[in-house]
Amino acid sequence: MSFVERFGEGVIFLDREWRITFANESARRISRIEDRHINGASHWEIYPDTVGTPQEDVYRASMEKRVSLEHEFYYPPFNVWISLTTFPISAGIAVHYRDISRLKQAEKALLQSEKLAAVGRLASSISHEINNPLESVTNLLYLIGLQDGLPPVVRQYVDLAQAELARVSQIVTQTLRFHRQSARPTLTTATQLIEPVINLYQGRILSSSIRFETRYRSQVQLQCFESEIRQVLNNLIANAVDAMRSGGKLTIRVKDGFDSSSGVRGVSILVADTGHGMSRATMARIFEPFFSTKDLTGTGLGLWVSTEIVERHRGRLTVRSSENPRLHGSVFRLFLPLR
């Protein structure tokens, strides 16, 4: 029994009267039942919420028909997914179960990731298809603008149309750039990394009544995988905009910096918002996988993936936040070394 007692997953033995004759340490921990209350107790007293559920059928089938069965189920009282396997033994049945909540979260996140990848491929394909007619319309407007004797109001409309088409072309180019993965790091500036991301959020920023300020005090070139760092910046800016549904101020600042722990030179990028802020408990977990404050709309992977990317670049991502009614918001600092 000593091995079963130390086994990392839950094991319970039930006799033919449904009394628990043995429960190892993991079973007691997962069940959140004190040691003195579990041995000898009725299974249906310890787990009253399982009466009339599919797992009860699994227990009864194993007990009465002497068969081994497997079952996965969600257990609301503990907010966990459980994988359950029952085995017939001479005195009753043995039940092996384990918490598979993380696995279920991973499956959900993988499905979400596949959907996002499909959307990315579709966006890239659409962007390619848009480019040719877009170029034709741009050229036609240019030729119209060269005509003599155009009424001033028509020329004004042509200029406006050209400006809007230039913006569409820029968005298409940025969409392609987001999807395209580079095989090796390239030299770029922080401004060149940030501006395409900002342009994608211009519409949301305006519609949310968010004031926007940028300050670029560094134009040094750094070596990085551009698409990956844009993914990080996209996540930080999206989170900032989401935190200011009722308006606020988004500030992005870039300056030369260095890593205080190693002294390595690099670039420091600050993304600050005046949103609702975060509690200390939330800040302690925001970089954990699957942790999200966005309910059903978030996978809880954005900041976790971002930290993985930043660490691969030998960089650092830190956060400060406050829920103070007078001075609230969050500040993310992204440091990237020059090489």
Mean pLDDT (whole number) for 273-288: 84
Q: Is 224 left (phi over 0), alpha (psi -120 to 50) or beta?
A: beta
Rounded to whole angstroms, how far apart are CA atoms 46 and 78?
A: 13
The pTM (predicted TM-score) of the whole model is 0.54
User: What confidence score (pLDDT) does residue 114 get?
Assistant: 67
User: What confidence score (pLDDT) does residue 253 get?
Assistant: 93
Q: What is the per-residue pLDDT across 109-125, written as a single tens digit (0 to 9) for each? A: 777 666 666 666 666 67
Domains of the chain: 2-99 (3.30.450.20), 102-180 (1.10.287), 183-339 (3.30.565.10)
Structural contact between residues 39 and 31, judged by C-beta atoms closer than 8 angstroms: no
Q: What is the per-residue pLDDT across 157-172, written as a single tens digit (0 to 9) for each? A: 888 888 878 777 766 7
User: What confidence score (pLDDT) does residue 121 get?
Assistant: 66
Q: Is 150 left (phi over 0), alpha (psi -120 to 50) or beta?
A: beta
Q: What is the per-residue pLDDT across 128-148, written as a single tens digit (0 to 9) for each? A: 677 778 778 888 888 888 888
Q: Is 247 left (phi over 0), alpha (psi -120 to 50) or beta?
A: left
User: What confidence score (pLDDT) does residue 223 get?
Assistant: 87
CA angle 151-156-162, nearest 5°? Answer: 125
Mean pLDDT (whole number) for 241-252: 87
